[in-house]
Amino acid sequence: MLENLNEVLEEHVEEASFLWLQRTHAVSAPNYSPQQFTDLDERLAAHIDGLRVAGNEGWKLAEAALDNEGPEDFFPAAVLAIEAQDARFDTLLERTKRAPEALPGLISALGWVSSQFLGGRVKALLEDAMLLKQKLGIATCALHRKDPGQVLDRYLKSPADSVRIRALRAAGELGRKDLLPQCHTALIDAKPEVRFWGAWSAVLLGDRTKALETLGGFALKSGQRQTRALQLALHAMDLKAGHNLLLQLGDIPDAPRLRIIGSGFIGDPRYVPWLIEQMEQPAHARVAAEAFVNITGADFNLDQLETLPPDEFEEGPSEDPDDENVELPEDIALPWPNTERIQQWWTDHQSQFQSGARCFLGQPVTREHCIHVLKEGYQRQRIAAALYLCLLDPGTQLFPTSAPAWRQLRGLATMD
């Protein structure tokens, strides 16, 4: 009997870890609808609940998985530890100091649990002298979109880069327009990561001058933040400035791909004929189709615009056992475009669009349309809608498209 219980609990631990990894991908995936995201979160919650109901036995097996030191292994144990409201969480913190690559799992758990388990915990984190705890406290407030008040002001002046960076990001996420001066100060910092988050938040909070220029600079440099910088910069710039930014990409690595993605971020229908041409190239076909949809709002399923991949095209991890590259291709979740049907679709609908007028999924960028996209769109589209809502009304909190699905639904209900 005990043996059968352990097997069930081990499955809960393994499935929770696997589903967390799947969820981490789904957060910014192009093919996850709100319902699919909800289904994924409900499955993950069910396995966490199985461990929770098992009490100490469930905790023991979740704790044993920590030896793997992956973020996915820390997530189930961290959820249980936070909800237990005892010393287990501090023990997990000590383990993440020895295995920093596991920290995202711990932060994710702080964002996952209900706020009823966090009141005293977050206060203690924010007041602690340990830098890691300060960062976790700020991150938790930001993930739950709860403004910590003057504490955030204080940590924007922290001598520790990691704390200041998280505070700068939180200023934008929480819509703290009063913190624009501190974001501006960050624009001249020696550390690129500090400058990036200062610019990112300042643009969300309404700056369309120096901060937008700084963000555009990050969009022109290869690196971890390039695409994020490119998206917000092109959403915030007027169309002419956006066109110029794409031209400035020059010959940097991935410039052709970035121009395709960027055209979708700008949303000007003038790019559509060029995007259809790019769909003829297998390496760029799917990302060009995504940019086409971002501008026009065409429905690949309803309008039957999808086709099979080219016979000669191969992608994905190779079958060579010595090949250490097991990463999935970036565009694997995007549909292959049928260029003939797409060209016909554009011929039929072109009169509905005007060059020089920004479109987002076939509509002008309005609050009502962005809320509709948050309710109905795929995850990448929802991320864009959340950014647009802040740009339309600086000081608006950034809608948390990565939050647990049930919390997102509550947030959307208050926006109607």
> Does position 326 have pLDDT exceeding 60, yes or no?
no
pLDDT above 70 coverage of the chain, percent: 95
Q: Are 380 and 29 in contact (CB under 8 A)?
A: yes
Confidence of residue 120 (pLDDT cuts 50, 70, 90): confident
pLDDT of residue 3: 59
Q: Which helix (H) or strand (E) holds 398?
A: none
Question: What is the CA angle 160-166-167, rounded to 5?
Answer: 85
pLDDT of residue 327: 59
Within-domain flag for 3: yes
Within-domain flag for 265: no
Backbone angles phi, psi at 296, to 5 degrees: -95, -25
| Count of domains forming the chain | 1
> How many angstroms separate the CA atoms of 23 and 404, rounded?
10
What tens digit of pLDDT does each residue of 345-381 get?
999 999 999 999 999 999 999 999 999 999 999 999 9
pLDDT of residue 316: 56
Within-domain flag for 396: no
CA 14, distance to chain mean position in Å, is 24
Q: Residue 266 burial by CB count (10 A; 0-12/13-18/19+): exposed, middle or buried?
A: buried
Concatenating the DSSP letter of every residue in 365-397 gives: --HHHHHHHHHHS-HHHHHHHHHHHHHHSTTPP
Confidence of residue 325 (pLDDT cuts 50, 70, 90): very low
Q: Is 92 helix (H, G, I), strand (E, B) or coil?
A: helix
Q: Are 297 and 286 in contact (CB under 8 A)?
A: no
CA atoms 398, 403, 405, 407: torsion sign: negative
Q: Are 264 and 295 in contact (CB under 8 A)?
A: yes
> How many angstroms separate the CA atoms of 192 and 394, rounded?
24
Q: Are 287 and 259 in contact (CB under 8 A)?
A: no
Q: Residue 282 burial by CB count (10 A; 0-12/13-18/19+): exposed, middle or buried?
A: middle
Within-domain flag for 413: no
Mean pLDDT score across all residues of the chain:
94
Q: Are 404 and 112 in contact (CB under 8 A)?
A: yes
CA atoms 60, 61, 67, 71: torsion sign: negative
> Does position 238 have pLDDT exceeding 50, yes or no?
yes
Within-domain flag for 252: no
> Does position 204 have pLDDT exceeding 80, yes or no?
yes
Q: Residue 47 burial by CB count (10 A; 0-12/13-18/19+): exposed, middle or buried?
A: buried
What tens digit of pLDDT does each residue of 149-182 get?
999 999 999 999 999 999 999 999 999 999 999 9
Q: Are 295 and 269 in contact (CB under 8 A)?
A: yes
* DSSP category for residue 399: P
Least confident of 57-61, 237-241, 311-315: 311-315
Packing angle of the helix pair 379-392, 226-236 (nearest 10 deg): 50
> Does position 323 have pLDDT exceeding 50, yes or no?
no
State mean pLDDT over 186-215: 98
Which amino acid makes up residue 84? A
pLDDT above 90 coverage of the chain, percent: 89
State mean pLDDT over 257-284: 97
- The residue segments making up the domain with residue 84 are 1-113
pTM of the model: 0.94
pLDDT of residue 4: 73
Within-domain flag for 234: no
Confidence of residue 317 (pLDDT cuts 50, 70, 90): low
CA 388, distance to chain mean position in Å, is 14
Backbone angles phi, psi at 126, to 5 degrees: -65, -30
Q: Are 269 and 359 in contact (CB under 8 A)?
A: yes
Within-domain flag for 103: yes
CA 391, distance to chain mean position in Å, is 17
Confidence of residue 318 (pLDDT cuts 50, 70, 90): very low
Q: Are 303 and 345 in contact (CB under 8 A)?
A: yes
> How many angstroms separate the CA atoms of 54 and 135, rounded?
32
> Does position 6 have pLDDT exceeding 90, yes or no?
no
> Does position 74 have pLDDT exceeding 90, yes or no?
yes
